[in-house]
Amino acid sequence: MNGSVISGSINRNDPVYMLPGNKELRIRRLEHHGVEVDNIKAGDRASFNLVGFKQKDFKRGMVLSNRLLEPTRLIDVKVRIFQKEITLGLWSQVIFLSGTNRLMCRMHLLDKDVLQNGENGLAQIYLPQEIITHLGDKFIIRNSSGNLTIGGGHVVDPYPLHHRRRRPNHVETVKKISGGELHQLLAAEVRKTTLPISHKDIASILDVNPDDLIDVIFQQLPGDIIFFQKDDNILLMMKKIATATQNKILTNLQEFHKKNPLRENGRTFKELMGIFGSDQNDSTRDVLKLMLEKLVENGKLAVIDRTWKLSSHRVQIDSNMTKSIEEIDSFMQSIGNASADLTEISAAVSSNISEKQLSQILNYMINNKTIHFIQKRYLHSSFVEKSKKIIVEHIKNNSDGITVAQFRDMIAGNRTNAILMLDLMDNNGITLRKGNNRFLTKKYLESNK
């Protein structure tokens, strides 16, 4: 394959991709003017001998690259008309030529209703198929017959938003980035998304060195954009979206506390990630961590048991709930080495409380470790602690571990409750089941030396 190197450089051992399509190939041999070389760079006329290349897979407009590039079917451009007696209306059918691409497309003027000879304008070009293009790439346009060159220009945004309506703020954004100033180009990429975006990803889109963006971020960042720094990565967001995200966190916790007034703790990090819906990635995770840290610093949130709660949240128990808690505690102690289900516990409570309130009370008692819950049944903590001592002591003195039958006889209980208790010990990392026997885990032994 022969061609011109448009930008960058490539070594013989580098991976190479055929784009669009993302097909990975391997370089067998590189030549420059018929001489084998190890490296070629922008401006060189080069010849590639590629492993895995098939002529039938290569189509006009395709390019080779040493990294994957996002294709596009929509581009914002700055265009100039230089053909006399030509006037383009709001919408035009033109032939677009850039690189080896030659495509019939539609062009929509953004800042003018008509464009005449000698005038510059901003436009959005709708391409019939995906192409690879970069910021600043040159192009020319011809009439739909292809026999007359109308004008030309350069790409100002290879991945724009769809400007179906020519809203003034959208047109103003395109005007700003058409000047090619780095801080405006960076800001435009941030404004395209409702999610945080890394400065490294922006650098890849703009085809610039990530280090070139750092000074811009610290010194020239527009007021409607903020950034978060995580190690050597800088994440950027629109300020109003960051504020909305923080409000979502606070609202999420407010609703959680309303539904669970007796829970002292709050939401886990995984649960809070749910505010991003399906858009969960490394960037959203890092931003959430940094936002939570900031909210804790500002005194709006507090951390408890690896969860986040509103600092203002306090567990408030009225006299009716206190009575119900005491009745449940008394009932659970009275059944001794046994368990109870929700129906049995509900029958033991004399207060007129709803099923929802009973569930809240039980969750409160679980969080306070007054009772334990496993397989839809409840165990009192006194039974659990007594059983734990029996199990640990027996296993330490018996290399064969402990079986369900042995433990059942030790507590003078039934098989169901013995299984529940041993399963609870497994879940808590105290015991490990091997066949019909349980043994103490390494983790438990190491932490109780």
How would residue 260 be classed by pLDDT, with cut points 50, 70 and 90? Answer: confident
- CA dihedral (74, 80, 84, 90) positive or negative: positive
Q: What share of the chain is helix, strand, coil (3-state, %, to 5)?
A: 35, 30, 35
Q: What average pLDDT does this structure show over 13-36?
A: 89
Rounded Cα gap, residues 244 and 390, in angstroms: 53
Q: What is the CATH number of domain 72-168?
A: 2.40.30.10
CATH architecture of 321-449: Orthogonal Bundle (1.10)
pLDDT in tens, 194-223: 999 999 999 888 878 889 899 899 988 889
Q: Where are the domain boundaries for CATH 2.40.30.10 in the chain?
A: 2-65, 72-168
Q: Give the model's pLDDT for residue 164.
A: 66
**What integer pLDDT is reported at residue 165 of this predicted model?**
67
- Label residue 138 by pLDDT band (50, 70, 90): very high
Distance (Å, rounded) from C-alpha 146 to C-alpha 419? Answer: 82
- B/e letters for 224-250, b = 16+ CB within 10 Å, e = fewer, are ebbebeeeeebbbbbeebbeebbeebe
pLDDT above 70 (res 445): yes
**Amino acid type, 400:** D
Task: Give tens-digit pLDDT for 66-92.
Answer: 888 889 999 999 999 998 888 899 999
User: In sequence order, which residues have a C-beta less than 8 Å from that of residue 26 and are 6 or more positions away?
Assistant: 15, 16, 50, 51, 52
Tokens at 46, concatenated? 């080069």
CATH architecture of 2-65: Beta Barrel (2.40)
Q: What is the pLDDT of residue 304?
A: 92
- Answer whether 82's CB lies under 8 Å from 118's CB: yes
Per DSSP, the three-state class of 50 is strand
185: helix, coil or strand? helix
Average confidence (pLDDT) over 87-99: 93
User: Sign of the CA dihedral 97, 100, 106, 107?
Assistant: negative
Start and end residues for every CATH 1.10.10.10 domain found in the chain: 241-310, 321-449
Q: What tens digit of pLDDT does each residue of 366-417 get?
A: 988 999 999 999 999 999 999 999 999 999 999 999 999 999 999 998 999 9
User: What is the distance between the alpha carbons of residues 102 and 191, in angstroms, rounded to a whole number?
Assistant: 31
- Using one digit for the tens of pLDDT, what is the confidence trace for 152-200? 999 999 988 887 667 777 777 787 777 778 888 899 889 988 999 999 9
- CA-CA distance, 97 to 58, in Å (whole number)? 18
Q: Name the class of domain 241-310.
A: mainly alpha
Give the percent of the chain with pLDDT over 70.
99
Q: Are strands 437-440 and 431-434 parallel, antiparallel or unpaired?
A: antiparallel
Mean pLDDT of the chain: 91
So what's the pLDDT on residue 97?
A: 95
Share of the chain above pLDDT 90, in %: 57
**End-to-end Cα spacing for the chain:** 69
Report how far residue 351's alpha carbon sits from residue 126's, in angstroms, rounded to the nearest whole number.
Answer: 69
pLDDT at 142: 95
Query: Residue 433 has what DSSP assignment?
Result: E
DSSP bridge pairs for 279: none
Residue 79: its pLDDT value, please?
95
